[in-house]
Amino acid sequence: MWKKISILILFAAGIQLGLFSAAGHASEYADTPTEQADGMFIPKQLTFVENMPYYVIPNTLLNQPEGSFAPQTVEVVEAEVHWATSGNWWKIKTDIGDRWVKTAPWQIEVPPPPTLRLMSETPLYARPSEAGGKTAALSPQEVAVVDAEKSWFRQAEGEYNPKRWIKIRTTWLGDQWVHLHLDEIGNLLPLDRQVFYPSIYYNSTPHVDYVSYQYEGYLTSIFVHQTAKFRSLLGSSYQFETAQGPKWAFGPGMPIVPDKQLLKRKQPSPLFVYPDEYSEIAATVPAGELTVTETATDPEAWWGSERWYHVKTDQAEGWFSPTYAEPEDAVDDTASLVLKASVTSIYRFPNTRISLNNGQIGPQTVQPLAAWTAPDGTRWYKISSFVGQGWIQLNPYLDGVVLKDRDQDIQVRSKRSYQGVFYQNEAGEFTHGSDTIGRIMDGEPAFRSDFVASLYHYERIGPDAEGWWTFKHANGYAVQVKDGELAVKTFWDSQPAGVVTLTEAPVKDRDSKQEALLLSLTHLRTLFGITAAYNDKVAYGDKHVTLSTLEHEISGFDLPKTADAGKLHLSGLLYEDLYMDEKEIGPKLQIMVKHREAADAASSVQLAQINHLYKLGYQSGLADIGLDVPLKPGINPLTIQFKVGERIVLQRDWEVTAAGG
C-alpha cells in the first residue's frame, strides 16, 4: 500500500494533463539514459529511507513534484546506472501509474544482485569479520548471493572503493561471507568483438588501485579482440587478447563492425593510418566515391559519438572521418575579421584542435576564404596563412567581424557580471553575512532598496518631501520610486526619460529604520535590468536567488547626419553572452530610435530587430542589428536609446537631414 504524505494538486488544461500523466520510457528524455531493472545491474526493488518527492517526468527543473512518498519499498521499472555513486533517476511503479524519483545513495537501500563473479581467489569467512580468520578460499567463479551488509553499495567518506561484506552460498560450507571492494562486486559478461584503442592503460585484473592509480602497462594505436566485460558498481573493464595473455582495459574502445557502403564526397578526403585524428595522414584522395569496408565508432568523443570509415581504394587505404576533413557545406564569406587577441591558432580542420603545422598569427585584419557553421552553431573561418590554408575560430571577447559594406556598424559587446548568490533561511528571509537583506513578499523574493543600491553602485537619495526615492548611477541613468506608487520615473543625465507603470507598487520594509523600500525581482528586472534566478526547488541546501546583469560596451558609434531617402537605416552587430541558468529570467537589450518632436511619442518609436547569426564560441554568439527610421524631408531631431529593461545603458540625441528639405 502506498503511503502518501503530501499531494500537490496540479491545475492544467485537459491536453496538458494528458501529456504530463502519460507513461513513457526514459529514452524519451535525451538527458536521462536508463536501463531496464534486471536485478543484476539495476535493482528491481528500491527502499526509501526518507521522504522522497516524485515527478511525472525526470526533470526537477521543468516540473514541480506531484507529491512525496514516505519511507517504503517500491518496484523499479528502469533507472540510470550510477545509483550507487551519485544522484540517480528511477522510474517506479505506483498505484497512480509510473512515476520518477531522484535519489542520492544515502537516501536508499537496495537488495544485492542474485549472483556475482569472483575474479580472483577469495577468502571465505563464517561471519562478517576478518578477526576469526578465513574458513576457506574460493577460486574465480560465479556464486549465488544470499545477503549483504546494510548499505553494501555505498562509498565511505574519504574512501572511493571501500570493502563491503557479501553473504554467498557454497556447496560444502553452507552460507559464507566474502569481503570485497566495490569494484569487485560485479558480474562477467561475454564479448566477441574487434575494437581500436588510440591509447589505453591496462592491468592483468579487471580492478584499479584507486590509491596509487598505477597500471601494468600502456598501449597506443592498437586493434584488439575483446572477449569479456566485467561490470561493477564503480564501472566496467574490458578483457582483450595479447601475446602475453589476457589483459584488462578500463575503457570500451571503439567497436569495429563490417559495413560495406559508398560515401560520396565533394571535397578531398584525408585518410588516416588509424581511426584517430592524431595519427598520420596516409593519403588524401580527391573528391568522389569512397569504398567503405567497415566502421569504427568512438562513443566517448567529447562532442558526441564519432564515426570513422575504413576506406580502400586502388591508390590508398586508411580511415576517414567527416569531422577531420574539409566540410562539405562551407560557404563563401565576405566579412572581414579583425583579430585583436595576441595569438590566434590555426587548425587543419574546423571544429577540431589539430594544429596546422603549429601555426599561429597575431593581431591583424584578415579576409576569410570560406566559413562553416559547426553542428553546435559555432562559426569557423578558413584563411590563407604562412603555414598554408587552415581554419580559425574567433575570440568572442576581443575579436570583431566587419560585414561587407558595413564599415560603420555599431558594435555592441555584452558581458555577464555576477553579483552573487543570496540564501533564504527557514523564516523566509534573505541574508548577506549577518544582515537581513530581503524576504518573500506575495510569493516572490524582494530585496531592500539600500542593499540593491549598494550592490549595483547606485547613489540612493531621499526620500524627498513628496516621498520619492532617487537611485542614480554614474553612467547617467536614474530612477525614482515611491512607497505605494505604481508610476515610476526614469531619467538620463538628469533629464526626464520616461514614466513606467509597474504591476505592483514598491512598499516600505517594515523592519527598516531608514524606511527602505522592498523591491521584488520583477521590480529589479524592470527598473535596473537585473537578471535573477529564484531556486526554490533544491534537492540539497537552501533556497536561494542568483543575481547578475548583462553589461554592454558600445563602440563604432558614428551616427549619420544625412539620409538620401525617406528613411534612415542603422545597422550593427551584437556580440552576445549566451549563458543562462535554467531558472533565470532577465530582460534583453533593446535599441530604439524616436522622433523628439513627434506629436504621438509612442508611435514615433522604432525598435531595432536583433537576429542571432551564429555562435562564436562557448556561450558566445553574434547577432545582426537592423533598424529603419522613417524621416520627413528636412531636419529630423532623433534620440537613440540602448536599454535593458527600463535601465538606460546609453542615450544620445542627434539630428538627421533627409533629402527634399
Q: Domain 186-252 sits in which CATH superfamily? A: SH3 Domains (2.30.30.40)
At 513-572, the pLDDT tens digits run 667 899 999 999 999 999 999 988 776 678 999 999 999 999 888 899 999 878 999 999
> Residue 18 — very low, low, confident or very high, per pLDDT cuts 50/70/90?
very low
41/64 Cα distance (integer angstroms): 29
Contacts of 317 (CB under 8 A, 6+ apart): 271, 282, 310, 311
So where are the chain's domains? 4-109, 115-184, 186-252, 256-324, 336-405, 418-550, 551-658
pLDDT of residue 603 exceeding 90, the answer is no
Closest CA to 549 of 525, 517, 519: 525
At 50-105, the pLDDT tens digits run 999 999 988 766 677 899 999 999 999 999 999 999 999 999 999 999 999 999 99
pLDDT of residue 37 exceeding 80, the answer is yes
The answer to whether 115-184 and 336-405 have equal CATH topology is: yes
Predicted local distance difference test score (pLDDT) of residue 61: 62
Of 633 and 305, the one with more pLDDT: 633
Asked if 287 and 239 count as a contact pair (C-beta separation under 8 A), the reply is no
CATH number of 418-550: 3.30.457.10
Domain 115-184: top CATH class: mainly beta
Predicted local distance difference test score (pLDDT) of residue 252: 94
Please name the CATH architecture into which domain 551-658 falls.
Answer: Sandwich (2.60)
Of 153 and 351, the one with more pLDDT: 153
DSSP of 405-471: T-TT-EEEEEEEEEEEEEEE-TTSEEEETTEEEEEEETTEEEEEHHHHHHHTTEEEE---TT-EEEE
Please name the CATH architecture into which domain 256-324 falls.
Answer: Roll (2.30)
Predicted local distance difference test score (pLDDT) of residue 302: 65
> Residue 19 — very low, low, confident or very high, per pLDDT cuts 50/70/90?
very low
At 311-370, the pLDDT tens digits run 998 889 999 999 999 999 999 988 899 999 999 999 999 988 899 999 999 999 999 999
The vertex-547 CA angle with 543 and 31, nearest 5°, equals: 65
* Sheet of strand 364-366, all strands in order from the earlier edge strand to the far edge: 364-366, 336-339, 400-402
Domain 336-405: top CATH class: mainly beta
pLDDT of residue 3 exceeding 60, the answer is no
Predicted local distance difference test score (pLDDT) of residue 616: 95
Bridge pairing between strands 410-424 and 567-577: parallel
- 384 beta partners: 389
pLDDT of residue 255 exceeding 60, the answer is yes
pTM exceeds 0.75 for this model? yes
Predicted local distance difference test score (pLDDT) of residue 9: 29
